[in-house]
Amino acid sequence: MKKLSIVLGLVLWSLFAAVALPLQPPLLGTPTLTVPAKDHPLTHFPTSWVTWNLQWFPGQTPRAKEPAREKHEKAVQETLQNINPQVAILEEVMDEGALGRVISDHPWRAVSNFQRAKDEDEKLPPQNVAIASQIPWREVWEVDFHALPLTPDRPVRGFLGAEFSDRGGRSLTVYAVHLKSNRGGREASGERRERAVDYLRWDWHRRGLDPHQDAILVAGDFNCSLRNPEFAEEQTIRRLLKEGWISAAEEIPWPEAATVKADPFRKYPPADFDHILLSPGWIKMFGDQQREVRVVRKGDVPSDHFPVELKYFPPKVAPESTRPQQRFSAKPRYCLATAHTTYDQMQNVSMLNFSGGRVWR
């Protein structure tokens, strides 16, 4: 049955590629980078990951005062140190300097340079995404949406990509995403999220990636649920699952799988908006059993979102390479262009730990 599902996924992928209309090209740019002065050899892949929406970092509101910023920085630093991921994929970053202070033990850091589009509130600061790593990457790049035509399905912000390589020349590609919120209506927002995934496909094509052969990890705040029936028709994630992708947290039961806290006024129940998705090529390279996933809910998590952690346990004998044997140094290469994007306004409410609300089964 699983093989049949993957075959059907390949057919769907072929049909999508054949009938999809050409996309307006986004901007390719260079994120704000912090990297060690000396080159480091590319010897192995990261084995532990976390994705976390930090909530208007630092301060938890767009224009937080210094005491609130300092308190938030300290709490985020403690949470990340307790998790201790080799790679952190983070959303709602407003201050690259503050990020460097809380995750200084990750010397390879990339923060997007998103801008708002003309149809968004330009007075609020942009919410950037970041990739911070203890393991050197081979390359990092940014894709921005803010200059796209202002159509109803225009996606917001953009995404970051990074390529890691091991000593055998195998490659692993990672994407950090933060898709459109549900402000303005779930259905209209869903169309914009689906279009954002179309641009992920665009980037795979640009880079010569085949998700069925190449290891790809996509992580971040999708603002889309796999468990709430109100999202059942949205294809942002489900189309990828039909093509053989895996949601790393698919076996976590509810309510432990909730990654967004219930708000104090019970207007919005807990939700599973934060995801780590693994391509069929990832499973082919790393196997389907050697991983551990959890939603980090313990303690006073300083955000309206909980972190999602993935640990991968490499087999003693690595699977056969899906890439030609090569050797790389860790001196990064970058796509050169302007780097900007859009932002959608978020509701600013203080969030509580999970308590009550509707439970979706």
Angle 118-121-124 from CA coordinates, rounded to 5°? 125
In this model, does residue 8 exceed pLDDT 90? Answer: no
In the structure, what pLDDT confidence band is assigned to residue 5 with cuts at 50, 70 and 90?
low
In this model, does residue 356 exceed pLDDT 60? no
Q: What is the separation, in whole angstroms, between the first and last Cα of the chain? A: 24
**Is residue 333 scored above 90 in pLDDT?**
no
Helices marked H in the chain — which ranges? 2-19, 66-83, 96-102, 186-206, 238-242, 280-286
Determine the average pLDDT of the residues in 67-77.
98
What pLDDT was estimated at residue 286?
Answer: 93
User: When comparing pLDDT for 230 and 335, which is higher?
Assistant: 230
- Residue range 94-122: average pLDDT? 92
Please give the pLDDT value at position 121.
75
Q: Are 134 and 107 in contact (CB under 8 A)?
A: yes
Range scoring the smallest mean pLDDT among 5-9, 29-33, 145-149, 196-200: 5-9
Pairing verdict, β 308-312 and 48-57: antiparallel
**3-class secondary-structure state, position 210:** coil
Say what the pLDDT of residue 267 is: 81
Query: Is 208 a residue whose pLDDT tops 60?
Result: yes
How high is the pLDDT of residue 46? 97
Would the pLDDT of 20 be above 70?
A: no
Q: Is the pLDDT at 351 greater than 70, yes or no?
A: no
Q: Identify the pLDDT of residue 327.
A: 37
Report pLDDT for 3: 53
Is residue 238 over pLDDT 80?
yes
Is a pLDDT exceeding 70 seen at residue 319?
A: no
Give the pLDDT confidence score for residue 1 in this predicted structure. Answer: 53
Q: How confident is the model at residue 14 (pLDDT cuts 50, 70, 90)?
A: very low
6-10, 77-81, 239-243: least confident range: 6-10
| Residue 4 clears pLDDT 60, i.e. is over it | no
Round the average pLDDT of the chain to a whole number and report it: 85
| Nearest-angstrom CA–CA distance, 303 and 60 | 7
- pLDDT category at 18 given cuts 50, 70, 90 is very low
% of the chain at pLDDT higher than 90:
74
According to the model, what pLDDT value does residue 342 have?
A: 31
* Residue that is written with structure tokens 């995801």 in the block: 275
Distance CA 56, CA 303 (A): 9
- The answer, yes or no, to whether residue 317 has pLDDT greater than 70, is no
- Give per-residue pLDDT as tens, 258-309: 999 998 787 889 999 999 999 999 999 998 878 999 999 999 999 999 999 9
pLDDT surpassing 50 at residue 350:
no
Q: Which residues of 48-79 are buried (b: 16+ CB within 10 A; e: fewer)?
A: bbbbbbbbbbbbbebebeeeebeebbebbbeb
> Which domains are assigned to the chain?
2-312 (3.60.10.10)
**How is 122-159 classified by DSSP, letter by letter?**
TTSPP-EEEEEESS--SEEEEEE-TTS---TT---SEE
Helix or strand or coil: residue 56? Answer: strand
- Chain center to CA of 263: 23
The predicted-structure confidence for 264-278, as pLDDT tens digits, reads as follows 787 889 999 999 999
pLDDT at 349 over 50: no
**Do 89 and 133 form a contact (C-beta atoms < 8 A)?**
no
Q: What is the pLDDT of residues 156-198, one digit of tens each?
A: 999 999 999 999 999 999 999 999 999 889 999 999 999 999 9
The residue type at 179? L
